[in-house]
Amino acid sequence: MKIHILGICGTFMGGIALLARELGHEVSGSDANVYPPMSTQLQQSGIQLHEGYSDLPLQNQPDLVIIGNALSRGNPAVEYVLNSGLRYISGPQWLLEFVLAGRHVFAVSGTHGKTTTTAMLAWVLDYAGKQPGFLIGGVAENFGISSRLGGNTCFVVEADEYDTAFFDKRSKFIHYRPNTLIINNIEFDHADIFGNIDDIIREFRRLIRVVPSSGQIIYKQGDANIATVLESANWTPAVSFGSATANWHMRTNKSDFSEFEVLYQGSVVSTVKWKLIGQHNAENALAVFAAASQIGVDPVRTASALAQFKSVKRRLELLANVGGISVYDDFAHHPTAIRVTLSALRASVGKQRIFAVFEPRSSTMKMGTHKDTLADSLIEADVVVALQPAGIHWDLQQALRALKPKYRIFADVDGIIEYLLAELRAGDQVLIMSNGGFGAIHTRLIQQLEARR
């Protein structure tokens, strides 16, 4: 079958492309923005990429067009599909029909931590010999890819609450029909499609209705919004993690959570010593312990797997250390994610200076939804360097005023790099946070640091 994917370089749609290619289909795709790491792994898999949404690739009459949720009516490729009567489908529906049917589906949901937790669970199940398939919203470093078919037994999928397609406004995760559902947390996000937190809670309530009574809901204890969702979860057993009274919890003497004991029902069942840092990652691991145990993976084996877990690209990923200056890349774009990432780095590096370099790029951030909590999320940084992008209608300087005098705002990436080169010295930590390419600032900064050295 010839399949063309519109929006192919998004993390989810790129994963769909790789799965379709693995199934033996001839796959091509189009996207407005083609950049690594997704473009790299797609091209390496023999998938032809087209920059922009011209109708030319569709004139070859593909058997099926998979349309991503970033596209809407008025897009020339979408209009061509509709006017030509080409067969089309959403990515989540394709995944359900062609991949998930007949498998034990592990769905990892929540506002934060989905990608890392999905990668973590896929690695643990793989280490335990379960041969899981997976679709992760990023490149999992243990596998070097974001998706694979795996065996026929189980599949781990990152379960996003964002909408499905212009013709299907349900949340993506409704399509996955999970046997095991992880809910890490629920906060307000995606202000471009949700009016308030109640809209998001409604979607999670729809999700839990499709988890069978033979399945399991694994949730973080102490999250008020999750508690509200679970008020109507009368059909499926629920297991908690996180707090000291949860079914699965932890204790540690390490401030960076690089080592911790795992307890189930109050008893120590294993100890984790791993490369990751941060309380949020340790809590993600607890959810993985709970999920893996459901299909018989012993906690000691889970801990052994986590000791070899390498995380996901763009999740506090150390890109380079040049002359004693460390440069990290992180996907954080919500104040909560920014805060926990900075907190984890601070616990790891102590009093060394942290330069938080931030691009307000997500739709929710551009709308100003989180502007009142942005400054507080950056408090752990010694210096905050922000890009003032075109097209936002709120005052970034006003939003960061509580950080005065440690913040700097620039109109372009060139100005940020010039400032950093003048200020950085050995021992400094540069944490670059964006859910996009950020003008290739990572590569450009590293190259210029190397040239300066």
Which distant-in-sequence residues (6+ apart) come within 8 Å of 376 by Cβ?
Answer: 335, 339, 402
pLDDT of residue 353: 96
pLDDT of residue 102: 93
The structural domains of the chain, ordered by start, are: 2-90 (3.40.50.720), 102-306 (3.40.1190.10), 317-452 (3.90.190.20)
Cis, peptide link before residue 92, omega less than 30° from 0: no
pLDDT of residue 190: 76
Q: What is the mean pLDDT of residues 136-161?
A: 92
CA pair distance 122, 128, nearest whole angstrom: 10
Q: In what order do the strands lie in the sheet with 26-31?
A: 48-51, 26-31, 2-6, 64-67, 88-90
Residue pointed to by tokens 């998938």: 47
CB atoms within 10 A of CB 67: 26
The token pair that represents 316 in the structure block: 């506090």
Q: Which of 90, 154, 100, 157 is nearest to 128 (CA)?
A: 154
Backbone angles phi, psi at 336, to 5 degrees: -65, -45
If one compares 362 and 148, the residue with the highest pLDDT of the two is 148
CA pair distance 97, 430, nearest whole angstrom: 43
CA angle 130, 135, 140 (to 5 degrees): 85
CA pair distance 120, 141, nearest whole angstrom: 10
Q: At what angle do helices 279-294 and 299-306 cross, to 10 degrees?
A: 140
- Looking at the predicted structure, is the pLDDT value of residue 372 above 80? yes
CB atoms within 10 A of CB 330: 23
CA pair distance 126, 106, nearest whole angstrom: 13
Cis, peptide link before residue 405, omega less than 30° from 0: yes
Range 126-133 contact pairs with CB under 8 angstroms and sequence separation of 24 or more: 126/305, 127/301, 127/304, 127/305, 127/308, 128/292, 128/297, 128/301, 128/302, 128/305, 130/154, 130/295, 130/297, 132/106, 132/156, 133/19, 133/99, 133/103
The token pair that represents 172 in the structure block: 């993506």
Interval 326-355: pLDDT, tens: 999 988 778 888 988 998 899 889 999 999
pLDDT of residue 139: 83
Interval 211-230: pLDDT, tens: 999 999 999 999 999 999 99
Residue pointed to by tokens 């009093």: 351
- Looking at the predicted structure, is the pLDDT value of residue 27 above 80? yes
CA pair distance 72, 75, nearest whole angstrom: 6
Q: What is the mean pLDDT of residues 244-251?
A: 96
Collapsing DSSP to helix, strand or coil, 107 comes out as strand
Collapsing DSSP to helix, strand or coil, 273 comes out as strand
CA pair distance 425, 161, nearest whole angstrom: 41
Residue type, 140: A
CA pair distance 38, 12, nearest whole angstrom: 10
Q: Which of 174, 176, 180 is nearest to 202 (CA)?
A: 174
Its pTM stands at 0.85
User: Please, are residues 96 and 80 in contact by the beta-carbon 8 Å criterion?
Assistant: no
Beta strands in 56-167 (DSSP E): 64-67, 88-90, 104-109, 133-140, 145-148, 154-158, 163-165
The confidence band for 53, taking pLDDT boundaries of 50, 70 and 90, is very high
CA angle 78, 79, 80 (to 5 degrees): 90
Q: Which of 103, 112, 113, 111 is nearest to 19 (CA)?
A: 103
Say how many Å lie between the first and final Cα of the chain, rounded. 52
pLDDT of residue 6: 98
The confidence band for 194, taking pLDDT boundaries of 50, 70 and 90, is confident
If one compares 304 and 317, the residue with the highest pLDDT of the two is 304
Q: Which of 114, 111, 166 is nearest to 137 (CA)?
A: 114
